[in-house]
Structure 1
Amino acid sequence: MDTTLVRRIAAPFIAGSLATGILAAPSEAAPAVWTAAWGASPQLPSTGFTPNWSQEGFSHQSVRQVVRVTKAGDLARIRLSNTYGTAPLRITGATIARTTRGPAVGQGTVRHLTFGGRRSAAVPAHGELRSDAAPLKLKRLESVTVTLYFAGTTGPATFHAQGWADTYRANGDHRADTSGAAYTGSTQSWYYLSGIEVGGGKGGRTAREPAEPSCGTPAEGGIIVFGDSITDGFGSTPNTNHRYSDALTERTGRPVVNQGIGGNLVLNDSAWFGERSTARFERDVLDQPGASTVVILEGVNDIGFSEAVKGPNPPPTYRPAPVVSSGELIAGYRALIGAAHDKGLKAVGATLLPFKGSDHWGPHAARVSNEVNDWIRRSGEFDAYADFDRALAAPSDPDRLSPAYDHGDALHPNDAGYRVMADEVAGVLGR
């Protein structure tokens, strides 16, 4: 193995993509347990797949974002990211509340968040910030709404492109509104919000909620699913929580945090699709409280972009597109496995799904995908593996995604395919 390559890939773990650290509110008394209950990996402001507000940012506006938490608790705090900001991000105020429908929230559930005891805060350029704890009893799989108000002008916004859920915008300060009437604009991306963590209550349960399902216990810890657009949920039905991460938390009863980025690569950074996985692994996986397992599904873009750019009118988003060998990709996996083990996390590998017939397919990609999948199955270097390749293959052609599970591009699953993926991982985890 090329040890020089391994050192180059592993270097981000030493330098740390969070060199500036995550600022903790100094006045907060640490609760017994915090668990990551939702997450979204930050991305550089860009055009994205669908219209979004990342490049224009916000000015004298409120942004309301709806997410589903995968853990119950008595306390909640949010995590804000200004990873790609070149100046401090000034938050005039923020609230968290239970969701009712669309941008509306429940009467009596709005909690004003504080940061070091103050309602306003500044997130440093290239930094992150957690709020203080807010008392809000949440059930597992309950939707919550986070509203950020910016009295000034933010400039381009650190965001997550593919949310598969509506985010709302209103002119002026509407952070405490229970009605959603002022929120007349919407996109399907998330802005600045990169995590929600819950705490309090025995095992993170509220006093009124029954114990977690027997198929999962708090002692098993949370699961981070890490990867590209398939992990991110491309092809799932918007506003329905039908990503494979959603099905996995429903199937296992364990907290699951989705850290997929559409188009992400193991070995190369992309202006469109985020930092390479080895550079963002510390921030997106190792810094998630309460996690015990990471499921890694990534590599189809590393080997597929070089095939896609050979076609007519390839999109500019498919570059860089070097020809990547199985050895280089395996070296990247080894760096991720080593970093997970150093943190005490179980590393579960996932074979690449069938993708014959997609724009990522070609002779080189076919050969390398088979070599990589064989290594994942036989090497024993992952603690366990989920065989998505075989679970979602067409009966008539193992190189093709089954028509029953194909979103329509021969690359991404549909809702049914994502449920099969969740069942495969749950089976590997013994649930």
Structure 2
Amino acid sequence: MLLRGICRALPVAAVATLLATTAAASPVTAHQRRDPVRWTGGWGSALIAPFPDFFGEPNWSGGFDNHSVRQVVRVSRGGSSVRIRVSNVYGDGPLRLTAATIGRAAQGAAVRAGTVRPVTFRGQRSTVVPAGQEAASDAVRLRVSPLERLTVTLYFDGPTGPVTFHPLAVATVYRASGDHRFDTDAAAYGETSTSLYYLSGVDVSGTTRGGQGTVVAFGDSITDGAITTVDADNRYPDELAERLVAAGRPTGVVNAGIGGNKVLSGGPGFGVAAVERFRRDALGQPGVRTVIVLEGINDIGGGEAVGTPVTAEQLIAGHQALIRAAHWRGVRIIGATITPSKGCPYPGYDTARGEAVRDAVNHWIRTSGEYDAVFDFDRALADPADPDRMRAEYDAGDALHPNDAGMRALAEAVDLDQL
């Protein structure tokens, strides 16, 4: 169901009902529904359609052919078994995954000796994922600790066609020609990328004591971690996972941020609208119990830039659609206020009219009571002397995206008891 372009024409109740009625079923296969194991989202990524030249940064989303693709992720909590999820949501035909492995990460593309495990799907090493669908693997017996880094290697022995991917990994991904799934050294992996490919989740079961369920951080490039340190796991959801572990209640934390994403509309490279992807990327996560929503600055800035400004009423209607969908599923949903952008050099992101919309939406988030709770990310980052501007020590350099210190400030603004 496509909601792009129609949200502006519908009243609040119609938008909310339209999304909520689609939210009753998660996008899982019958095999997943029969799985007796209780899974928690250990790591995740929201994927988009292929975009081989991401605004001047080439990637591999055009396709693979006889390639091993090695991706390193950090799980937010521990357990005794793991599984991977492989997405072909934006493929133009069936995806044949020849084989896959998972193991404990070493340095770079290397894997710790003795930890590499084959991954199977319904008992078979290969699987075919139909276009528009996602496949979850069988459970792999591999005991992992909270915040441990794992390496997932996917091997494709033939052409894949266009790749469902995530452009802004803020992490190094490795590629080798041929089948190098079981290599523990990095010698064959001579090519690198900073995008993720096909891998939408790493789930954990048999979880460690304390905490339960999955928290999904849903948003745009700020949630995605744009301009934070590569391979450092300093995005705000990463910092939140660290806080939960330190507090003795490790909980699954999944990052469903997409750079450039908007509440009401989508576009090439930026993913589909939040109101369209919310069911899959947030409510479809295993064990989801809470979603934190940080979205809206791109609707404001993008609209101002092209002369079709969004109104506060339109943005609020989009947020209400997300709230209604979450509540339909019995999921707690928390609103995060939209962060400052004064001084941002990107067209449309620093206008008086846009700032008025941001203020109005933030006032509604804070005072309406429609979200189950509020995290005031705006005030966490704002300069006390100029509240429309981000504090200099949190600014990654464009007056819009927080640096590593700013990401820590966002994570500190989360009330753990509200999760």
TM-score (norm 2): 0.92
SS across alignment from 2:323: helix
| Per-residue deviation, residues 378-409 of structure 1 (Å, max 9, x unmatched) | 11111111111111111221100000100000
User: Which residue of structure 2 lines up, in the alignment, with residue 316 of structure 1?
Assistant: none
SS across alignment from 2:158: strand
Question: Is the counterpart of residue 367 in structure 1 residue 356 in structure 2?
Answer: yes
Distance 1:248 1:26, change over 3 A: closer
Shift of 1:42: 1.0
Question: Is the counterpart of residue 307 in structure 1 residue 299 in structure 2?
Answer: no
Asked if the contact 2:11–2:317 (Cα under 8 Å) also holds between the matched residues in 1, the reply is: no
User: Which residue of structure 2 lines up, in the alignment, with residue 38 of structure 1?
Assistant: 43
Equivalent runs, 1:10-29 vs 2, <5 Å: 10-15=17-22, 21-23=27-29, 25=31
Question: Is the counterpart of residue 398 in structure 1 residue 387 in structure 2?
Answer: yes
Paired amino acid for 2:160 = T
User: Which residue of structure 2 lines up, in the alignment, with residue 318 of structure 1?
Assistant: none
Equivalent runs, 1:200-349 vs 2, <5 Å: 200=206, 204-205=207-208, 211=209, 217-219=210-212, 221-253=213-245, 254-309=251-306, 322-349=308-335
Asked if the contact 2:180–2:188 (Cα under 8 Å) also holds between the matched residues in 1, the reply is: yes
Asked if the contact 1:9–1:278 (Cα under 8 Å) also holds between the matched residues in 2, the reply is: no
How far apart, in 2, do the equivalents of 1:328 and 1:428 lie? 31
Shift of 1:12: 4.3
Shift of 1:252: 1.9
Equivalent runs, 1:168-179 vs 2, <5 Å: 168-179=174-185
How many residue pairs match? The answer is: 403
Distance 1:29 1:305, change over 3 A: closer
Distance 1:428 1:416, change over 3 A: farther
Distance 1:74 1:381, change over 3 A: same
How far apart, in 1, do the equivalents of 2:34 and 2:326 lie? 29
| Per-residue deviation, residues 333-353 of structure 1 (Å, max 9, x unmatched) | 111011111212111101111
How far apart, in 1, do the equivalents of 2:334 and 2:292 lie? 5
Higher relative contact order (CA 8 A, sep 6+): 2
Equivalent runs, 1:182-197 vs 2, <5 Å: 182-197=188-203
**Sequence identity percentage:** 48
User: Which residue of structure 2 lines up, in the alignment, with residue 165 of structure 1?
Assistant: 171
Paired amino acid for 2:295 = E
SS across alignment from 2:84: strand
Question: Is the counterpart of residue 422 in structure 1 residue 414 in structure 2?
Answer: no
Among 53, 62, 65, the residue aligned to 2:71: 65
SS across alignment from 2:168: coil
Paired amino acid for 1:278 = V
Paired amino acid for 2:266 = D
Asked if the contact 2:15–2:317 (Cα under 8 Å) also holds between the matched residues in 1, the reply is: no
| Per-residue deviation, residues 180-238 of structure 1 (Å, max 9, x unmatched) | 110000011100000011112xxx02xxxxx5xxxxx324x321100000000012111
Structure 2, gaps ≥5 residues long: 1-7, 246-250
Structure 1, gaps ≥5 residues long: 206-210, 212-216, 311-321
What is the alpha-carbon root mean square deviation over aligned residues?
2.1
Question: Is the counterpart of residue 48 in structure 1 residue 40 in structure 2?
Answer: no
Question: Is the counterpart of residue 92 in structure 1 residue 81 in structure 2?
Answer: no
TM-score (norm 1): 0.89
